[in-house]
Amino acid sequence: MKRGHEGAQANRVPNQPGAMVISLDFELHWGLRDHVRREDALYRRLTEARRAVVDLTGMFAARDIHATWATVGFLFASERQDVEAHMPTERPAYARVDLDPYAEPIGPDEEHDPEHLAGSLVEVIATTAGQEVGSHTFSHYYCLEPGQSETTFRADLAAAQSIARWRGLELTSLVLPRNQWNPAYAQTVLDLGFRSIRGPQRTWSHQSRGGGRDRSMVRRGARLAEAYFGTAPPPTTAWNQVLGPSGLCDIPASAFMRPFDPSRKRLEPLRRARLVSGLRHAARHGRIFHMWWHPHNFSQHHAENFSMLGQLLDEFDRLATSEGMQSLTMAEVATLVTAPGSEARPHPSSN
Q: Does residue 14 register a pLDDT over 60?
A: no
Domains of the chain, CATH where assigned: 3-338 (3.20.20.370)
**CA 262 to centroid of chain Cα atoms:** 25
The amino acid occupying position 37 is: R
Q: 87 — phi, psi (to 5°)?
A: -60, 135
Residue 324: exposed, middle, or buried by beta-carbon count in 10 A (0-12, 13-18, 19+)?
A: middle
Please spell the DSSP secondary structure of 231-295, one letter per residue: -SSPP-EEGGGSB-TTS-EE----EE-PPP-GGGGGGHHHHHHHHHHHHHHHHHHTEEEEEEE-G
The larger pLDDT score, comparing residue 205 to residue 321, is at 321
d(CA 20, CA 344): 16
Look at residue 217 in the predicted model and tell me its pLDDT: 61
Cis preceding-peptide flag for 295 (omega within 30 of 0): no
What pLDDT, in 10s, does the model give residues 34-79? 999 999 999 999 999 999 999 999 999 999 999 999 999 999 999 9
Q: Indicate the pLDDT class of residue 226, thresholds 50, 70 and 90.
A: low
Which residues sit opposite 249 in a β-bridge? 196, 243
Segment (H or E) for 315: helix 302-323
Sequence-separated contacts (24+) of 204-208 with Cβ below 8 Å = 206/179, 206/253, 208/144, 208/179, 208/180, 208/181, 208/182
Look at residue 10 in the predicted model and tell me its pLDDT: 36
Question: What's the pTM?
Answer: 0.90
Mean pLDDT of the chain: 90
pLDDT above 70: percentage of residues in the chain = 85
The C-alpha torsion from 210 through 171 and 57 to 314, rounded to 10°, is 70
Span 283-296, average pLDDT: 98
